[in-house]
Amino acid sequence: MKRGFYTIMSAQFFSSLADNALFVAAVELLRAEGAPEWQRAALVPMFALFYVVLAPFVGAFADALPKGKVMFISNAIKVVGCLMMLFGSHPLMAYAVVGLGAAAYSPAKYGILTELLPASQLVKANGWIEGLTIASIILGVLLGGQLVGQHLSVLLLSIDIPLIDTGVDTAAESAIAALILVYMVAAWFNTRIPHTGVEMRPLRTDPSRNVLANTLALLPDFWACNNRLWRDKLGQISLSTTTLFWGAGGNLKFIVLAWAAVALGYNTTQASALTGVVAIGTAVGAVVASMRMRLDAATKVIPLGIAMGLLLILMVFINNIWLAIPFLILLGGLGGYLVVPMNALLQHRGHNLMGAGRSIAVQNFNEQACILGLGAFYSLSLKLGLSVFGAITAFGLVVAGTMWLIRRWHISNCHRHREEVEHLLHIARQDHHH
């Protein structure tokens, strides 16, 4: 890998580490304030909100500026969200602002891979970035759990700044304040990311129109890109699969917290460790997929998505920690093995069809819309009186059933468009070998 790749990985690691630790701190902040269970579950869809709303704009923004600069600005927005959480804003609103920063960050962090590396290294690069992202999830949820735990929170709250009243009085607030420093480390790495030499695609502006009109003019371009990817035979199958995977995976981190509280009687610190266990399995699956899978064989992993949904349903019958650990590792492993080749295939097709930033923005729009939809479905299930176990069962049925429909759709498309699909896979195979 080129040297700049590792700088990108470091920036991504620390930013994702802080994101995941902040999620645990936000859950604890709502719990300490006595917020209902559905509000804690709503953290996930609130984080996804700006991914969906701003998707038509962030891709073009990422393509118009050097990716490292975009990532730096995005981290600054995340810090603003943390400060809002500390100084009185509702945690759901403040966490949505952090999601705004993440929405702007994502097209740059993935898009820069296709600018820096040849197609033959994209699967390996995705293995790296997914593996490190999962590692940051593991360490992030563990860090967040420890920061809100008794030992570290007491130490953090004992820190006194002379003549300044910080207003940081609870374990969750001290954790959020500490995580601002982690975001600053990520921002420093952002400043070290090299320029890839790829020509920027400046935002199209009309001097006769105001800023709002020029911004809204990006909508037709985004929808055209979205339609182009959905109409592409390989784009549609990889996009639908990754969309559903991230829709389920994005909500899984809270589902595990809620399940551990009910099934095992765990507090936030203890339950956060189990979220890390799922991430360990995902990291292993991602690494194995990066070594074994090729772009032209990516579509063969779709049945693993059905298995994930069924395993979610089985989770409600587990109430022993020693059975839960290997079960959660298996659940994560299936997801990791599924998402790496599908992500690589989607990036490959998107880069060829419309450019890296716009392609990732389209991907994020669909994936985060699914997170938003499934998160709203889970939160609404709880608000309407369904138990945690009942909501998890309904969630698993939706995931397994939808993934089964995607598989049937893919098989049908292969029969109807066999020559076109085989031609596209042949091109992917040639790029892989090159």
As a three-state string, the secondary structure of the chain is CCHHHHHHHHHHHHHHHHHHHHHHHHHHHHHHCCCCHHHHHCHHHHHHHHHHHCHHHHHHHHHHCCHHHHHHHHHHHHHHHHHHHHCCCCHHHHHHHHHHHHHHHHHHHHHHHHHHCCHHHHHHHHHHHHHHHHHHHHHHHHHHHHHCCHHHHHHHHCCCCCCCCCCCCCHHHHHHHHHHHHHHHHHHHHCCCCCCCCCCCCCCCCCCCCHHHHHHCHHHHHHHHHHHHHHCHHHHHHHHHHHHHHHHHHHHHHHHHHHHHHHHCCCHHHHHHHHHHHHHHHHHHHHHHHHHCCHHHHHHHCHHHHHHHHHHHHHHHCCCHHHHHHHHHHHHHHHHHHHHHHHHHHHHHHHHHHCHHHHHHHHHHHHHHHHHHHHHHHHHHHHCCCCHHHHHHHHHHHHHHHHHHHHHHHHHHHHHCHHHHHHHHHHHHHHHHC
Both tokens assigned to 3:
């040297």
Q: pLDDT tens-digit profile of 55-69?
A: 777 766 777 777 778
Q: Rounded CA gap, 293 and 107, in Å? A: 24
Q: Is the pLDDT of residue 179 over 50?
A: yes
| Average pLDDT score over the chain | 79
In CATH terms, are 1-190 and 216-433 the same topology?
yes
Per-residue confidence (pLDDT) for residue 162, from 0 to 100: 62
Q: Is the pLDDT of residue 227 over 70?
A: yes
For the chain, the structural domain boundaries read: 1-190, 216-433
For the domain 1-190, what is the CATH superfamily, name and number? MFS general substrate transporter like domains (1.20.1250.20)
Q: Rounded CA gap, 108 and 129, in Å? A: 13
Per-residue confidence (pLDDT) for residue 2, from 0 to 100: 67
Q: Rounded CA gap, 412 and 418, in Å? A: 10
Q: Name residue 51's amino acid.
A: Y
Average pLDDT over residues 183-192: 89
Which range (19-23, 104-108, 366-370) has the least confidence?
104-108
Residue with tokens 């009309």: 206
Give the chain's largest Cα–Cα span: 73
How would you label 127-142 residue by residue, b for 16+ Cβ within 10 Å and e otherwise?
A: bbbbbbbbbbbbbbbb
Both tokens assigned to 174:
């001290």
Q: Is the pLDDT of residue 434 over 50?
A: no
Q: pLDDT tens-digit profile of 116-154?
A: 777 667 667 766 776 687 778 778 888 888 888 877 888
Q: Rounded CA gap, 163 and 312, in Å? A: 51
Q: Is the pLDDT of residue 78 over 90?
A: yes
Which range (96-100, 144-148, 224-228, 409-413) has the least confidence?
409-413
Q: pLDDT tens-digit profile of 306-352?
A: 888 888 889 889 888 889 899 999 988 888 888 777 777 776 777 67
Average pLDDT over residues 184-206: 72
Position 166 confidence tier, pLDDT thresholds 50, 70, 90: low
Instruction: Please state the separation of Cα 351 from the chain's center in Å.
Output: 20
Q: Rounded CA gap, 35 and 407, in Å? A: 40
Q: Is the pLDDT of residue 429 over 70?
A: no
CATH 1.20.1250, applies to 216-433: yes
- 137, 253 in Cβ contact below 8 A? yes
- 403, 309 in Cβ contact below 8 A? yes
User: Who contacts 250 (Cβ-Cβ below 8 Å, separation ≥6)?
Assistant: 44, 48, 367, 368, 370, 371, 374, 375
Q: Is the pLDDT of residue 182 over 50?
A: yes
- pTM of the full predicted structure? 0.72
Q: Name residue 386's amino acid.
A: L
